[in-house]
Amino acid sequence: MRKEKYFLMFLRTGGGHLAPARSVEEYLKKNYSEKIEPVLIDGLHSSPSYLKFIVEDGYRILQNRAKWYYELLYAINKIIPFAKLSDLLVSNRIKPVIKKRIIEEKPDKIVIFHFFLIRPVFEILKELGVNIPVITVVTDPFIAHPIWFLNRKQTFIVFSERLKNYALRRKVSSENLHVFPFILNEKFSNPIPKDQIPQLKKSLGFQEDKKIVLIVGGGDGIPKGERIVRNLIEGVDSAQIAVVCGKNKKFFQSVQKMKENYELSTLKVFQYVDFIYELLNISDIVITKCGASTFMEILMIKKIPVVNNYIWEQEKGNVEFLVMNNLGIYERNIKKLPLLIRRLLCEPDVYNLFLNNIEKAHLRNGTPDVSEFIVNFSL
């Protein structure tokens, strides 16, 4: 029997598009391996190197080195004529590669995880005269870029009533909007039992009886990471500090040098890791930026996020969700972080206030519901 082929399409502009696509892929493989073949499709695979540099590397470089410029571009593209122009320019350049894949592999369904893929996919299907079901997963949970909704006549999955109401104001039909909890890897639905944490700490090189503050950002670490680490080293001596630098070699080398200079056995520094789930589980507080996947993973593991940095306006809704519901703390001033962390570590009433709010929020992983919706969806 022929398996149905599902294209799960993304771009590598940060981890927030690939991560949910992978979560759906894993669910489908686990539960529908006999009838469905999920295929992860990088929309820029085999595209010209200059285009990949502009879209992927440009996104990463601007966010880490010129955030103000990235935010300016974001704001300009909220003006619909500029948004349409950007959409058209990118679409025309990635369209040939996508068209070739669709013709060769004839997918039975297409699930889109990035707004720059919407236009080319729908244009290709129209040109080919084929009627393939398409679902667009809006990966920004609370505030989404207008480009997501330029094509209003499609089926959307969104992750909050707030975003649904925004889409309705953009003249998207309520029949085309389906609200689910945020998509995460299923393991984040199941924190590691508390009685296993001491042994896990030991296996990862940490002291079993001492609390841990984890510093983690995206693939290139957290912005201004060196300053954050230095302030914590000098201002917090009651906890171990774990730093994930990602692919940022300069950040990694800088923190390694601090570790040597201060002769700190309580400071652990990692490059890119594939055990972030384990690090989150053994941590007590997580200093982070407010990317959607990262902050939701922290909350699902029931740890307290302290956000020092976010990208306007893309991640603004994430910060507002945290602060308005008392699920975490937003503090821009790096110099204030040590006092804030000491208070969370040393005052159980303060720590437990946030922890209780996280538990009362009853956050749920949307991967099973979203995946089942995709399986059952038809035109």
Do 219 and 113 sit in the same domain of this protein?
A: no
Do 248 and 119 sit in the same domain of this protein?
A: no
Rounded distance between C-alpha atoms, residue 87 and residue 118, angstroms: 9
Do 151 and 168 sit in the same domain of this protein?
A: yes
Do 232 and 174 sit in the same domain of this protein?
A: no
Phi, then psi, of 378 in degrees rounded to 5: -150, 160
Do 44 and 170 sit in the same domain of this protein?
A: yes
What are 6's two structure tokens? Answer: 């599902």
CB crowding 36-69: b at 16 or more within 10 Å, else e: bbbebbbbbeebeeebbeebbeebbebbbeeeee
Do 246 and 173 sit in the same domain of this protein?
A: no
**pLDDT value at residue 290:** 84
Do 133 and 140 form a contact (C-beta atoms < 8 A)?
A: no
Do 274 and 155 sit in the same domain of this protein?
A: no
**pLDDT value at residue 368:** 97
How many domains in the chain? 2
Q: Which residues of the chain have pLDDT under 50?
A: none
Do 4 and 109 form a contact (C-beta atoms < 8 A)?
A: yes
**pLDDT value at residue 86:** 83
| Among 40, 37, 61, 57, residue whose Cα is nearest residue 49 | 57
What's the pLDDT tens digit per position in 326-379?
A: 999 999 999 999 999 999 999 999 999 999 999 999 999 999 999 999 999 997
Do 285 and 312 sit in the same domain of this protein?
A: yes
DSSP 42-55: ETTTTS-HHHHIII
Which amino acid is present at 223?
P
What are 185's two structure tokens? Answer: 């890897």
Do 70 and 204 sit in the same domain of this protein?
A: no
User: What SS3 string covers 206-231?
Assistant: CCCCCCEEEEECECCECCCHHHHHHH
Q: What is the CATH number of the domain that holds 55?
A: 3.40.50
Range of the domain at 252: 188-360
Q: Is 14 left (phi over 0), alpha (psi -120 to 50) or beta?
A: left
Do 32 and 175 sit in the same domain of this protein?
A: yes
Q: What is the CATH number of the domain that holds 216?
A: 3.40.50.2000
pTM for the model stands at 0.90
Rounded distance between C-alpha atoms, residue 131 and residue 66, angstroms: 42
What's the pLDDT tens digit per position in 53-93?
A: 666 565 555 556 656 666 777 778 788 887 888 888 888 88
User: Please, what's the largest Cα pairwise distance for the chain?
Assistant: 66
Do 22 and 139 sit in the same domain of this protein?
A: yes
Do 176 and 228 sit in the same domain of this protein?
A: no
**pLDDT value at residue 64:** 61
**pLDDT value at residue 312:** 79
